[in-house]
Structure 1
Amino acid sequence: MKEQLPVIYISFLLVLLAGTAVFLFQQVFRTRRLENQLEKLQKKLKGGDGTSKDYYELGSIYLKKKLYVQAAQVLQKGLKSASKEEIEPENLALIYNALGFSYLSREQYDLAIRNYKEALKLNPEYAIANNNLANVYEKKTMDAKALETYKQTLQYAPENNIAKRRIEALQKRFATPE
């Protein structure tokens, strides 16, 4: 058994090293794919022939890269472009939700609320926008409004775990100790 210990140890290290290498290669390929998408969309939009979908995709990439100011600028251009196109309200709601997220990330809560509400006006059953709106209310310590908004989420998406957890947490906060 003592003689096999070095072999086991080296095998374990090789497996660990191989797992790390696979993880790193996946990250590199994901990053490279994202960068290629970014470059392609930037070129297309610089040429002026982009659609609101292209602006949304570019804004989403900026959000993934945590470039919130650039994301907001691109998403606003997407909204302007959408006003010239015939775009489904559900798709327009996606742009408003992403724009709201960019404002939320920069702690511009009132602008975030305005955009989330606009998204919900276009698509009242949009659970993600509802959760995001409730999240902003929580950040502004408007807990009663947040609780109400999370409950609205459950009307459209009864299995929404985020809303369920947040409702439970908010209700605990409201509970008075006896």
Structure 2
Amino acid sequence: MRAAGVPRPTLGLPPRAPGAARARQARPQAIVAAAGAPLAAAAAASSAAAVAAGWSGAAAAAASSGALFAAAAAPQPLFQLGEGLETPIQLIYLLTLLGFLSVGAYLVVRQVLIRRELDEAAKALGERIRTGQASCEDYYELGVILTRKKLFTQATKNLEKAKKVWDGDEAELAQVHNALGFCYYQMAKFDQAISEYEKAVELQAGYVTAWNNLGDAYEATKQWRKAFEAYGTVLQYAPNNKIASQRGEYCRGRVERLGL
């Protein structure tokens, strides 16, 4: 029992206006009325048309009911959220396509320019060789150019000539051996490739590229332990070399699996 004169606890809400309840009750009716306005209009129009045509009251009522049912069953467009989105999407697709085309055109033009430069350089070096004025570096450069053009047979001829007439630093001669090894590898002459790579790393112990190439050639001939050791040497000079890390791990697995 609550003691007389003790006020009832409240939630602290402000006092409700006298007409709020009536307004809240009337709101659903207004919504229903608004939603049914198109249906009612359709039914009234159908009934009026039936009366004008001379139909009886029952027939007019049936026509009105049929029109009301058809209007209710017809899909009513409530929201058109996608309206106007087609243009931005098409614009995005167009810009993306233009971007890809621009990159492709740039790469094509770049390849054409590089090939033209290589052709001009090869022509100039070939002219020096024909006139007997070529140096060992000229033979090497021509061999590298022909290698980039994937003319490996012609490249090996010039690189072999460069190796024979080389009169420069022996450490630089390692690059000639590495280039020769690459050409022989591309021609599937793996034993000759291994021989050239081994000479390259003998002349330049820290030649990481040649060590990686040597490991690759050992893999091609299934010499897994030697390949693993070659990649291990790479990691001594370049601990973050991803190629040596990944291929060395693979070769280590092969060695353990085969019990080599």
TM-score bucket (shorter structure): 0.7 to 0.9
The reply to whether residue 45 of structure 1 matches residue 129 of structure 2 is yes
| Structure 2 residue 77 is the aligned partner of structure 1 residue 4 | no
How far the C-alpha of 1:174 sits from its partner, in A, is 3.3
What code does the residue aligned with 2:133 have?
D
Pairwise CA RMSD of aligned residues? 2.1
1:29 to 91, 109, 113: 113
Q: Provide the C-alpha distance between the structure 1 equivalents of 2:140 and 2:152, rounded to a whole number of angstroms.
A: 13
Q: Which residue of 2 aligns with 1:117?
A: 198
Alignment-derived partner of residue 62 in structure 1: 146
Q: Does 2:162 correspond to 1:81?
A: no
- Give 1:19's aligned residue: 103
- Relative to its length, the structure with more helix (as a share) is 1
Equivalent residue number for residue 97 of structure 1: 178
Greater shift, 7-16 or 116-125, is seen at 7-16
Decide whether the 8 Å contact of 2:162 with 2:176 is kept in 1: yes
Q: What amino acid sits opposite 1:69 in the alignment?
A: T
Q: Residues 130-149 of structure 1 correspond to what in structure 2 (within 5 A)?
A: 130-149=211-230
Q: 2:245 aligns with which of 142, 159, 164?
A: 164
Deviation at 1:131?
Answer: 1.2
Instruction: State the partner residue of 2:62.
Output: none
Q: Share of identical aligned residues, percent?
A: 37
Q: 1:36 to 1:143 in 2, by over 3 A?
A: same
The structure showing larger relative contact order (alpha-carbon pairs under 8 Å, at least 6 residues apart) is 1
Distance 1:74 1:16, change over 3 A: same
Higher mean alpha-carbon deviation, 11-20 vs 109-118, is at 11-20
Letter in 1 for 2:251: L
Output the TM-score relative to the length of structure 2. Answer: 0.61
Q: Give the partner amino acid of 1:92.
A: L
**Matching residue's letter, 1:168:** E
Are the counterparts in 1 of residues 125 and 138 from structure 2 also a CA contact under 8 Å? yes
Gaps of 5+ in 1: none
Q: Which runs of 5+ in 2 are unaligned?
A: 1-83
TM-score normalised by structure 1 residue count: 0.87
Aligned to 2:207: 126
